[in-house]
Chains A and B, each alone.
Chain A
Amino acid sequence: MIFEFTDEHEELRRTVRQFLANESDENTVRELMADVRGYNPDTWKRIAEELGLAGLIIPDAHGGADFGLVELAIVMEEMGRVLLCSPFLSSAVLATSALVLAADESAQAEILPQLASGETTATLAFSEKQSPWDLSGLRMAAKADGDEYTLTGVKSYVLDGHSADEILVVARAGDELALFRVAPDAKGLTREAVAPLDPTRKLATLEFRDTRASRISSGDATKGIERAIARTLIALAAEQTGGAQTCLDQAVAYAKTRLQFGRPIGSYQAIKHQCADLLVEVEFAKSAAYNAAFTDESDGDALSTAAAMAKSFCSEAYTKAAKRNIQIHGGMGFTWEHPAHLYLKRAKASEMLLGSPASHRERVAAAVGIGSR
């Protein structure tokens, strides 16, 4: 039934929340922000082994927990609340989904068990500067070289691209789009970390020069990759919802205790009503993210529309909440010392990641028949 979380779901949420409360406090987040890799490999290992989250959506047969979007959304929402620094989005969501939905069985059997156990991480490099989030605009074309291929070109905004053990690349193969696997130390591959707007999530630029790659998908992989991106949009929307909730919680807590002119600032309607507005936005964001997570995955069109709706709404809700949180904190909210800016940076960066809210509204419009001209 729609929106009915089971006791098992609530148990999963509690377990993840408890773990993250211990392992991803503000100090830890700040340390990892300053770290080039951007996450703690020991913590990631424990997330994989103790919680089984690295393989959350990996099929049973490949060593995973075989869960679906609902569990994924719950986990991402909790991670978003505390700005967990980890390769979960890049490896356990995006790359994993691409492998599950687009790769050949043999590649799945080789890569997925290691991802599930936390031994390795993977990333999916698909974005190119001139067409960041639209697969149809990708230009990188693989050159056939016997059984192997070579890749030349640049992939941008690659999540954890500088640290991932497995590099998966989306490129053209003739008329088709295909998934390739590149060794992390392959000749002609340079991986450069970029300085990200959001230091809690690392990005890299990957340059390929006649770099050897093996094709791990058969036929046109467009549909599979699109589906993997749709899943990632839903996961990201859930993460944004968790982040927005934290911003609201912080703003409300501060408004209750900060005194000016002899009374708590939360007693002034100017502040109270901003909090009330955020409450509406956060509740709507939850509805958007949960609705997408509860959508039947076998209905591809419904899934991509729900994903676009969630990503456009949750993005704007999160950014709004992060900005209001800074405003309600006043001068304190503008300091480096206070965590409010960490949420603003995560909010703004995740709003742009995988496409702007307006671009996703355009998808919704096309799907529901707005704009006949």
Chain B
Amino acid sequence: MTKINKSLALMAGVAGLAMSAVTATAEMSYPALAPLGEPPIPLDNKMSDAKVELGKILFWDPRIGGDASTACVTCHEPDQGWAFGDSLSRGYPGTVHWRNSQSVINSAYLGQLFWAGSAASLEKQAPSAAKGAVAGNGENDVMETRMAFIPEYVKRFNDVFGTENPLIGDAWAAIAAFERTLIVNDTPVDKYLAGDTSALTEEQVAGMELFNGKAGCIQCHNGAQATDENYYNLGVPPAERWEDDGLAQVTFRYELYAKGVSQDMYRKLKDDPGLYFRTKEPEHMGKFRTPPLRYTLYTAPYMHNGSFWDLREVVEFYNAGGGENDFTDGTMAATKSELIKPLGLSDEEIDQLVAFLEGFSGEELRVEPPVLPPYEALASE
């Protein structure tokens, strides 16, 4: 935690600097949008075809979970943008998840996974999802032992990692390697930024100018990834399901309990405090990491709790100066970002901005689902 706190403090400092710079000069410069390029590959998890193929099978395998019903793909479905098409993700049987499922596409570029950035790598994100009570609810020893009874896994892990039997940590590494192949970096926006001026329509180019100027999107959605990976409270309204769905209320309180908030906060919180869960710093209440924008055409609904169902709704939300939640109005905190203010966009300008955002998505990425290898006995009668 010390380490996390330090790096957050550092980031908060950077954000603070950036904000004072905004007030000082109207024409603050941010890292420009840029073609995405290739994803970074960690030195301790190099890519190989065999590893990627193994990771792909594991991504689809529900035995990597508690009751052998819930695989990675269960909440990251290729035909739902490698995400899940409901406001809150579906969760483990008997539960509902508590946040919107994020797309796996281009997650390879992110330094902070999950909406509050609680995993620093794909290798760490996978076990967190596979083991959480409202996600995979699996246990390391059971998942690892299951793989030892799947001869094809024993062989593949041996080929890739050189172990006698599969190790669960290597499973996360293989899944991460597979996820690093789920790249969409040839969108119309990428092509345009690389010099192909015919890749975007006039309307989209006008939208990009708004993005970089009047609408101010670039203040957070900047650089090649279109995210600064920093944390903000936009005033996204609380999830409606927490108000009227008992199952969601169960999960909401479970998260308060499991994330270790104080007794007082457990009683009072009625909205997802985001980054606060990690740091317990009041100024982090209600803040979530800026999401990247590529592939978003396919990943509705949007925001950490799926409050908005199409991109126009999102743009209209910003145009209205964001919204209100328990962390904007002083109920629990007042951390709304000063960057969020009415934009004064006309209907036509909103259309232009939406058209530009749609240019961030390109073709859908589909793959042939793998065949899952069966269990086999290690012993005969």
A and B part of one assembly: no
| A residues in contact (CB < 8 Å) with B | none
| B residues in contact (CB < 8 Å) with A | none
